[in-house]
Amino acid sequence: MDKQKKIVSMFDDIAKTYDVANRVLSFGVDKIWRKKACDLALEKYGKKKLDLIADIACGTGDMCEYWIKRTKKNDIILKNVVGVDPSTGMLNMARKKDIEAEFVVGEAKSIPLDSKSVDILSITYGIRNVVDRIEGLKEFNRVLKNGGMLVILEFTKNENNTCSSRLRDFYMKKVLPKVGGFVSKNYEAYNYLPNSIDGFLTKEKMIEELAQCGFDVLMAKGYSMDISTMFIAKKRRK
């Protein structure tokens, strides 16, 4: 089994406990990060009518739900929301929720959407699981309208040796795998998480890759001791 298929299989296995584990492990703070990401992207895009928002690696549909709620909160008309994920287990859980969105099977490097059809594309805590990341970023660029917004929330690699970074590393490497494994009964999956962060990019390298793939980064900011990093970027007009 290749690496990407193994990752998808792992998410299939933890789909039923995924939401509970997320709330427990983040102490609910991930809800704040998601709301803030939505509101900032909508503000920077500056349009009151949107044709389509797409959430890639959508999991159980959390971010799709936030997009619907935050557009309504900001008096923005949104025609459609699509969640895309390669894990059928995750999508099955998403479809059980009362979310006014379409959920389709697909990978980041091959999104089943038309070119220049998406106003805002998000990927939350999923880009580090995309093995062919550059291909994925180029595909994001393809489906976005000119001037469209890309929103990324992710656990980036931290190379600073500060007190807060050591505390973060202790939580991510020692506490999170045990708690996540206990909730999901899949210890391998939650050992994968800190390892995947160590093997991922720094904030600065992510900015470089976004620029390489046709995006202008408008903001890149860490939250909660830099546990989570938010990137908001605009597709360069061609």
CA 51 – CA 146 distance, rounded (Å) = 13
In degrees, rounded to 5, the angle at the alpha carbon of residue 27 between the alpha carbons of residues 25 and 33 is 100
Rg (CA), the chain: 17
Four-residue CA torsion sign, 180, 184, 188, 194: negative
Q: What is the pLDDT of residue 179?
A: 64
Q: What is the pLDDT of residue 219?
A: 95
- Buried b vs exposed e over 204-230: b needs ≥16 C-beta within 10 Å? eebbeebeebbbebeebeebebbbbbb
Dihedral of CA atoms 35, 39, 40, 44 in degrees, nearest 10, equals 160
User: What's the CATH architecture for 3-157+203-235?
Assistant: 3-Layer(aba) Sandwich (3.40)
Which residues is 83 bridged to in the sheet? 55, 103
Q: What is the pLDDT of residue 178?
A: 72
If we measure between CA atoms, which residue out of 161, 151, 147, 142 comes closest to residue 206?
151
Q: What is the pLDDT of residue 23?
A: 60
CA 105 – CA 85 distance, rounded (Å) = 5
The tens place of each residue's pLDDT in the chain, 238 residues long, gives 577 887 878 777 777 766 666 665 555 678 888 999 999 999 999 999 999 999 999 999 999 999 999 999 999 999 999 999 999 999 999 999 999 999 999 999 999 999 999 999 999 988 988 989 999 999 999 999 999 999 999 877 666 666 656 666 666 666 666 766 666 676 676 666 666 666 667 888 999 999 999 999 999 998 766 777 999 999 997 6
- Tell me the longest C-alpha to C-alpha distance in the chain: 49
Residue in the structure block whose two tokens are 């393809």: 142
Terminal-residue alpha carbon distance, the chain: 39
Phi then psi dihedrals of residue 102, to 5 deg: -100, 135
**Residues with Cβ within 8 Å of residue 26, at least 6 apart in sequence:** none
Strands (E), 67-162: 77-85, 102-105, 118-124, 144-154
CA 158 – CA 195 distance, rounded (Å) = 13
